[in-house]
């Protein structure tokens, strides 16, 4: 078997963390499957080279592959560009073009990182949830949009919060299915008390729930959900929400896991195809300094192996390797703790590679002696 993967390092620290993720990927599949890694351009480099944040060639390459591993998109110059011309927009267009509508953002606190969170240990210990963010609709894509001038010449801006019934239904189903595989609890987050789009959201989620009597459904408004997430995060199993609210609360939830540098994500279409990327951005301020935490990118590889390639053993091996390097006291600068050894991006990649190798040996030995 050959895994056909499109690697899109993108901008800033995206390049650095992707290099480490690829190193770990190569190690964990060694002797099991072959890799056919294709490389493409997206974001700032693509703008500089071909004048487009998402070249058609990249979309074509993606369609030939079974999965995408992405670093991040966004550059400093974006501040001076219209949102639709920025590097980050390349990623938004790719999500839309490939109909990657279900964005899974697991938030799990490794016990070793309890002290790295800004919240009290008893609040965060044992946090284990998934934020399921809709990725193809909402204010991100609704029309009309733009900056216009009224009759007096004063400017005004418009974005449109738009969701169709079918878009809500498919993400709701994904949420119920996911909750069913976990602890059976789904919390739908909306703003149904103010926004019609969100009133429809709630109605459709309730309609879909009829097919999932075994899943316990609850609803929260986004403001109350933000508070609950910080006050008592352990109550959550799966949270399903729209594109904008999901963008915001997943960054907030990152602090529950100690650092945003620990959060992987999967953006899935129907079927097995997916795009896997760390939740963090491109951090231009620390780019190129070997400071970034590569663990979110490495954990994204685990999500890829599990979901797109059904390679559960290899996925768990990566997660166990990360657990083991954290237990050995290795950290990157974003999650410094007393008594720990702070490593650079490449060195963190190296210790994970070593841990994967050790775990592979441990697993092989009993089988070989039988
Ligand atoms: C994310 C990011 C993106 C988003 C940006 C880079 C366009 O913040 O994946 O959460 O807003 O979706
Ligand atoms: Mg975001």
H helices present in the chain, as ranges: 13-29, 44-50, 56-64, 88-97, 121-124, 165-181, 196-209, 222-231, 243-254, 295-307, 312-327, 345-369
Is residue 244 predicted with pLDDT exceeding 50? yes
How many whole angstroms from 269 Cα to the centroid of ligand 1?
17
Structural domain count, the chain: 1
pLDDT at 311: 98
pLDDT digits (tens, 9 = 90+) for 336-367: 888 899 999 999 999 999 999 999 876 654 44
> Is 11 within the bounds of a domain?
yes
Catalytic pick among 23, 78, 163, 191 = 191
88 domain residue, yes or no: yes
How much distance in Å is there from the Cα of 254 to the middle of ligand 1? 14
- Asked if residue 291 has pLDDT above 80, the reply is yes
Based on the residue annotation, tell me whether 214 is a catalytic residue of this protein. Answer: no
Average the pLDDT over 74-82 and give the result.
Answer: 90
Active site residue 223: yes
- What is the spatial order of strands in the sheet that 238-241 belongs to? 34-39, 2-10, 67-72, 274-278, 264-268, 102-108, 128-134, 238-241, 185-190, 216-221
d(CA 54, CA 103): 20
Q: Whose CA is nearest to atom 12 of ligand 1?
A: 247
- Give me the CATH number covering residue 65: 3.40.718.10
Sign, CA dihedral 137-141-143-147, equals positive
Of ligand 1's listed atoms, the one at least distance from the Cα of 247 is: 10
Our answer to whether residue 110 is catalytic in this structure is: no
Residue 344 CA to residue 339 CA, distance in Å, equals 16
Pocket test for ligand 1, best of 74, 247, 263 (most atoms within 8 A of CB): 247
For the CA of 278, the nearest ligand: 1
The closest alpha carbon to 90, from 138, 134, 46, belongs to 46
Note whether residue 185 is domain-resident: no
Task: Output the ligand 1 site: residues, CB below 6 A.
Answer: 73-74, 88, 91-92, 247, 281
- What is residue 57's three-state secondary structure? helix
In the predicted model, is pLDDT for residue 235 greater than 70?
yes
pLDDT at 195 over 50: yes
Distance CA 16, CA 6 (A): 16
Give the global pTM.
0.93
In a domain, 66, yes or no: yes
Contact yes or no for 18/39 (Cβ under 8 A): no
- Indicate if the pLDDT at residue 234 is higher than 80: yes
pLDDT given at position 363: 62
- Taking residues 276-294, report their average pLDDT: 96
In this predicted structure, what is the pLDDT of residue 364? 56
Structural contact between residues 339 and 329, judged by C-beta atoms closer than 8 angstroms: yes
Largest CA distance in the chain: 84
Kindly report the protein residue whose alpha carbon is nearest to atom 5 of ligand 1.
88
Q: Is residue 166 part of a domain?
A: no
Indicate which ligand has the atom closest to the C-alpha of 73: 1
The reply to whether 191 belongs to the active site is yes
- Average pLDDT value for residue range 232-259: 94
User: Would the CA dihedral through 82, 135, 223, 282 be positive or negative?
Assistant: negative
Q: What is the share, in percent, of the chain residues with pLDDT greater than 70?
A: 98
Contact assessment for residue 118 and residue 252, using Cβ atoms and an 8 Å cutoff: no
- Helices 295-307, 13-29: inter-axial angle, 10-degree rounding: 50
Tell me the residue range of the domain where 20 lies: 1-101+270-370
- The reply to whether 247 belongs to the active site is yes
The answer, yes or no, to whether residue 370 has pLDDT greater than 80, is no
pLDDT at 369 over 50: no
Specify if 179 maps to a domain: no
Q: Is residue 343 part of a domain?
A: yes
pLDDT, tens only, 101-153: 999 999 999 999 998 888 999 999 999 999 999 999 999 999 999 999 999 99
Residue minimizing CA distance to atom 9 of ligand 1: 279
In a domain, 220, yes or no: no
Q: Ligand 1, atom 6: nearest CA belongs to which residue?
A: 88
CA of 247 to the centre of ligand 2 (A): 5
Average pLDDT of 155-161? 98
Report yes or no: 33 and 1 within 8 Å, Cβ to Cβ: yes
When pLDDT is averaged across residues 237-255 and rounded to a whole number, the result is 95
Are the beta carbons of 283 and 317 closer than 8 angstroms?
no
């Amino acid at each position: 078997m050959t895994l056909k993967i499109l690697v899109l390092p993108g901008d800033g620290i995206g390049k650095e963390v992707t290099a480490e993720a690829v190193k770990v990927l190569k190690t964990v599949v060694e002797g099991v499957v072959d890799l056919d890694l294709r490389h493409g351009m997206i974001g700032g480099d693509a703008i500089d080279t071909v004048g487009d944040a998402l070249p058609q060639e990249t979309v074509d390459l993606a369609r030939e592959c079974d999965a995408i591993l992405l670093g991040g998109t966004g550059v400093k110059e974006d501040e001076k560009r219209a949102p639709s011309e920025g590097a980050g927009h390349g990623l938004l267009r790719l999500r839309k073009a490939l109909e990657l509508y279900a964005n899974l953002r697991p938030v799990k606190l490794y016990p070793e990182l309890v002290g790295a969170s800004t919240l009290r240990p008893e609040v965060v210990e044992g946090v284990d949830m998934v934020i399921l963010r809709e990725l193809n609709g909402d204010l991100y894509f609704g029309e009309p949009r733009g900056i216009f001038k009224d009759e007096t010449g004063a400017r005004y801006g418009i974005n449109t919060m738009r969701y169709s019934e079918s878009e809500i239904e498919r993400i709701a189903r994904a949420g119920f299915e996911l909750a069913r595989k976990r602890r059976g609890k789904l919390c739908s987050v909306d703003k149904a008390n103010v926004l019609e789009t969100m009133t429809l959201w709630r109605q459709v989620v309730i309609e879909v729930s009829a097919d999932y009597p075994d899943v316990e459904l609850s609803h929260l408004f986004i403001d109350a959900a933000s508070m609950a997430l910080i006050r008592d995060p352990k109550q959550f199993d799966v949270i399903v929400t729209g594109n904008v609210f999901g963008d915001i609360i997943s960054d907030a939830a990152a602090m529950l896991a100690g650092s945003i540098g620990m959060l992987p994500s999967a953006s899935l279409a129907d079927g097995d195809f997916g795009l896997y990327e760390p939740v963090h951005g491109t951090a231009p301020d620390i780019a190129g300094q070997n400071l970034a935490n590569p663990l979110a990118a490495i954990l994204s590889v685990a999500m890829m192996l599990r979901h797109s390639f059904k390679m559960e053993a290899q996925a768990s091996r990566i997660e166990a390797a990360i657990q083991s390097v954290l237990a050995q006291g290795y950290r990157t600068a974003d999650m410094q703790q007393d008594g720990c050894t702070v490593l650079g991006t490449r060195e963190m990649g190296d210790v994970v590679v070593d841990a994967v190798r050790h775990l592979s040996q441990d697993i092989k030995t009993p089988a070989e002696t039988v």
